[in-house]
Every structure is written in C-alpha cells, then in structure tokens.
Amino acid sequence: MDTWLYLRLEAFPALLRGFLVSIQLIVPSAVSGLVIGILVGVLRVYGKSVIKALADSYVVLFRGIPLVIQLFIWYFGLPYFKIYLSPFTASVLGFSLCSGAYHSEYIRGALLSIKRGQTLAAESLGFNTVQMITSVILPQAIRRALPGCGNEIIYLIKYSSLAYMITCIELTGEGKILASLSFRFTEIFLVIGVCYLVMTSLASFILARLEGFLSIPGFEQQRT
C-alpha cells in the first residue's frame, strides 16, 4: 500500500481518535492547573506563614520532580495505598498539579510586582481584603502573569504526550501503536509532529491575541 493511501485509510482515523483524547486531556488540565495556580499563588503571597510554607513546598516538589515521575507516582504508585486511578484520571491529575505549580510562580511574581500604592488606595476606599484581591489586584496581576501562564499552557500541550507512558492512549500513543504495526515510524511521527505544531502555534496565536485584547495602554511598561 502506498504511503498516502495508508495514511488516509488507516492512520488518520486512529490519529484523529488520539487527537481527540489529547484535547480531552489538555483542556481540563489547563483549566484546573490555572485555578490551582491562582489559588496557590495568592496563598503564597497573602497567606499566613504555615499556609505559605505548605504552598511553597508544594511548588518546590512539583516543579522539581520530573513530570514523568509524577505521572508514574499517580498511576503506578498510588495502588501502593490501595488507590486505583484510570490512566486518563492519573494523567489529568498529574498535569493539573504540575502545571498549577508553574502557574503559581507566574501569579506570585505578578502579585509581588503590583505597587504598594494600589493596595493602599483600595484600602483607603474601604475595600476588604477579598474585594481588594478580586477587583484591584487580580485584574492587574493576571495581565502581568499572562505571558508566563500562556507559555505554561503551551508546555502542557507538549507534555500531554507523556500520558502515553502511563498507557493513556492519546495522539502519541495511537501513533506508536500504528507505527509499531506498520513500521512507518517516520511518516506517522511526522504527521503527529505537525499536529502538535498546529496545536502549539494555534495556542500561541490565541494567547498573543488575548494579550493584545487585554492590554492596557502603558501598563506593561511601568513594571518596576
């Protein structure tokens, strides 16, 4: 069978299936990672000392240990405590927690970059802490954290391929199975590479547009 025919008849349907699984991995992980990141980032800046220390150690652990090992711990390690996760659940859990740790770094940096005068002004208007955080600080911090967090989401798209290593068959996994059967590794993995390139490029395009859309004249420059 010639390459094109093979790709069209056999590879593409399987790869499409895998692609959809990849999307199902990426989207929830990105969202929950971001939520965790914001929560942890806020706690690391405004939390009480014990909570701060806990949040800090979470970040050190999840940024310092390779993601593959984290995935292995969730999938192969938890049964040690009689907890059994499906490959898909373990992947989403692993991605969210790891990604959240990275997001929190950007959120924390952004929060710390906001000038003291902003909080003083909010306090002087009678805002309570929660109101101040949600309506003054976060809107500014999110804009500053956006480039970093956006990058992290692009990393997540690429790292989603690691789900294959704990037997969650997504795009890379489908490709590996197909290629092992047909020995057309080069063709299959080039196609897969293109798929990822499209995803990452699309994501960076959207993020750049979002950054442009949210930008406030002169705000990004006054970073001190």
Partner 1 sequence: MPESLTAIVDALPYLLGGSLVTISVVAAAMGLGFVVGLPLAVGQVYGGVVVRAIVTVYVWFFRGIPLLVFLFLFYFGFCTTLEIDVSPYVVAVVVLGLISSAYQSQIFRGAILSLPEGQLKAARAIGMSDFQAIGSIVVPQALRLAIPGWSNEYSILLKDSAVTYALGVAEIMARAHFVATRTYQHFPLYLSAGAIFLVLTWLGTKALRLLEDRVRIPGYSPHLS
- Stretch near partner 1 under the rule CB under 8 A, chosen from 26-34, 39-47, 74-82, 133-141: 74-82
**104, two tokens:** 């929190």
Give burial (CB, 10 Å; 0-12/13-18/19+) of 200: middle
Give burial (CB, 10 Å; 0-12/13-18/19+) of 163: buried
CA 129 to chain centroid: 28
Distance of closest approach, residue 29 Cβ to partner 1, in angstroms: 14
What is the maximum alpha-carbon separation in the chain? 75
Contact of 175 with 189, CB cutoff 8 Å: yes
**191 contact partners, CB below 8 Å, separation of at least 6:** 7, 11, 15, 175
Contact of 101 with 148, CB cutoff 8 Å: no
In which residue are the tokens 């950054």 written? 211
Task: Tell me whether residue 75 or residue 137 sits nearer to partner 1 (CB atom).
Answer: 75
Distance of closest approach, residue 148 Cβ to partner 1, in angstroms: 12
Binding pattern for the stretch 163-202 against partner 1, x by CB under 8 A and - elsewhere: -xx------x--xx--x---x-xx-xxx-xx--xx--xx-
Task: Tell me whether residue 86 or residue 186 sits nearer to partner 1 (CB atom).
Answer: 186
How many CB atoms sit inside 10 A of residue 109's CB?
Answer: 15
With CB under 8 A as the contact rule, the residue among 76, 84, 205, 219 that binds partner 1 is: 76
**209, two tokens:** 């547009």
Distance of closest approach, residue 24 Cβ to partner 1, in angstroms: 17
Residues 201-220 contacting partner 1, CB under 8 A: 201
Task: Tell me whether residue 4 or residue 183 sits nearer to partner 1 (CB atom).
Answer: 183
Task: Tell me whether residue 127 or residue 187 sits nearer to partner 1 (CB atom).
Answer: 187
Number of residues that bind partner 1 (CB under 8 A): 40
With CB under 8 A as the contact rule, the residue among 25, 45, 138, 162 that binds partner 1 is: 162
Binding site for partner 1 (CB under 8 A): 60-61, 64-70, 72-73, 76-81, 158-162, 164-165, 172, 175-176, 179, 183, 185-186, 188-190, 192-193, 196-197, 200-201
